[in-house]
Structure 1
Amino acid sequence: MMRSFLAPVLAVAALTAGPAQARTCTPTWVAGWASAQFLPTGDAALPAGTLADSTLRQNIRASIGGDRVRVRLSNLEGTKALALSGVSIARAISPASAAIDPATRQMLRFDGKADVTVPAGADYLSDPVTLPVKALDTLAISIRYAGEPSAQTAHPGARATSYILPGDHLADAQMTGAATFDHWFNLTAIEIERCQPVKLIVALGDSITDGRGSTTNGNDRWTDRLVERLQADPKRRHVALVNQGIGGNRLLDDGLGPNALARLDRDVLAQPGVTQIILLEGINDLGTLTRDAPVSPAAHQAHVARIIGAYRQVIARAHARGIKVIGATILPFVGNAYYHPDARNEADRQAVNDWIRTPGHFDGLIDFDRATRDPAHPDRLLPAYDVGDALHPSPAGYRAMGDAIPLTLFD
């Protein structure tokens, strides 16, 4: 009788075992941070020889937490293979410092080896390492270059300070005496492994997404504010976000970096875990149309139609992958001295924004125009939100943008 009584009790106990005993996990990789890489020009490029046999430390902020990480390196612009002697990762002491917590430092491996050769034009993932990461943690990635890259691959608009010293400083806790610049090089993503379900938003845009006018090392772009709001909400802490803005970017033509349609597959659709895109592009297309000379009304009309056509392309290509696209209205920019927009340019902006707002085109709407415009002069930025050029928001403007985003879009 004792045996017959114990058998069902043990069976019930097995069925009701705690999560630590019974849980199964299917790990998922998701991009927790990313930057769009391209060929830097002018003062965004480093003097020749700067990277050769030197260690470059770059700080990034993770948008989501997880248990293991891997680093994606890029030699996108290289015409020859890129030889790296080693790469390390650690928690940074602060976003504005080269100092790391030595207890968290780990040397990365590539196919089990410390060194790696990245083919021309390619990306290369490190082997995963166990490094528990929390959302909003600052991580420091240190790269030791064996020689000078054949061509620089970079993200000039980092709004984050990077640190460089000659020699091997992968294990250096301080990097005392390092030279500095505010660009990222050859670092295109940090991928994070999670057991829990996850969603990923990719913000595709120009300098207003890249953060022109935000605070260096301040993490106060509109995307940063959105990440903070998501992480403050217990219902939405499983939502990650990566910023794929490029200053000067356009939908239709190359500017600083390739046009949005040309880079859509690499920078957006290929991100592991992507479920939604926020598309804020078009202000540079509108501005460049008449920057150098006026054009005919027919040319204005055709230009607006091409911008809308580009939106349709992004939507179609994303939907084919099961990814939703959220349209963001274009901010006002009358008063900008570079584009010197007139009433006709403003009419173009209104026509584009009307299309964005029309239900049935995008899968959701963020009305950045409404959030940032001056009610007394709706073709201009609110003065408190203007960094000073009538085009780019100030940190207060970026905060207003981040606060204007309905979090229900990501449910």
Structure 2
Amino acid sequence: MKAEEEKFNLDVEYLPEVHDNLRQVSILTDLKNQIPRLELTHYRDLRIRSVTFFFRNSPNDVHFITNFWLLRVLDALTIRFEEFPVKIVELVNLRYIALTYWMKHRFPASVDKLCNLETLIVNVEKFRSIFNTSFLPPEIWKMSRLRHLLFVRSYMPYPTDALKGGSIVPLENLQTLSNVINFKWTKEVLEMMPNLKKLVISYEHDGRTEWSSYCFDNFVHMHQLEVLKCIFFDKCYIKYHDPLPLNFAFPQKLKRLTLSGCRISWKNMPVVGSLSNLEVLKLKFHAFEGPVWKLNDGEFRRLKLLLIHMIDLEHWKVDKTHFPSLQRLSLRYCYNLVEIPSGIGKIPTLEEIEFCECSTSFVTSAQVIQAH
């Protein structure tokens, strides 16, 4: 069996009888009847490297994990913790942790004991809620091996705040930072994350903080960044009613860009269209505003996917030369868009046009293009 070849145990019921070479454990059943057996002291002699839960157990049912001193991977997304299971910070060999929180939570300062940790995932894509918020401690800036930080929502301390708690180090290995809130991208921060490749951020405007203080113009200095998703809300989680300053700039390596709630004028679209490596562009919830979008020659040379979602655009002036690599076009809830430009249908690479909840005249024009 493949499971035996990989030294993988598929049923926790037999765990106490397994041989010393067991490395990976997958827990598929409820542990309530197994807890007495799972506390056997000889677990400390097992060389378990990975534990994955597929059953929605109680947080109280997983304390036995602390016996696995050599554990490197803990995947417990199916378990709803109400607070960080602080005992796991003693498992200093952990490289990967995936957890689910049911309510607002703070990470303990002792999390920096996990000196080998590379990936931390909290409540990603499961039980999504605007109320699930992570509060990272300043000690996160001491964890130099971190590669991937993924959250539903997270407040991350500023490096200067972390200095008060001791020395900090550049997170030179950090490649993914997903769903941080209201973070300021100063030169100091960029120097602390020089190799970031994927960034998902959101901003909840309080009506007092100046947009310029977030240093959006510094995005251009993220020289390794390939994926950026940037979302703007007001505190009521409705699109913000004032436009952002025109200091947005993006790095040339960027391949995928998603903007939502920015309310930027279409005349500033060349900032995006000039990105020579951009392949995917998603514009959502008034990312750009105004009745007319007129493209310039030479823009979007490599764009393969364009999604426009809930935009107030009325007239879109484009021909086949503007999107020479476009393969898929998706327009949703564009109630004001009068028609799809006929030039779109002449793009030789175009494979699919998708539309949903658009005007009657738009649907008619799209059907004419599809018929040819």
Q: Give TM-score, length-normalised by structure 2.
A: 0.30
Rg larger in structure: 2
Q: Give TM-score, length-normalised by structure 1.
A: 0.28
- Larger helix fraction of residues: 1
Structure of higher RCO (CA pairs closer than 8 Å, 6+ residues apart): 1
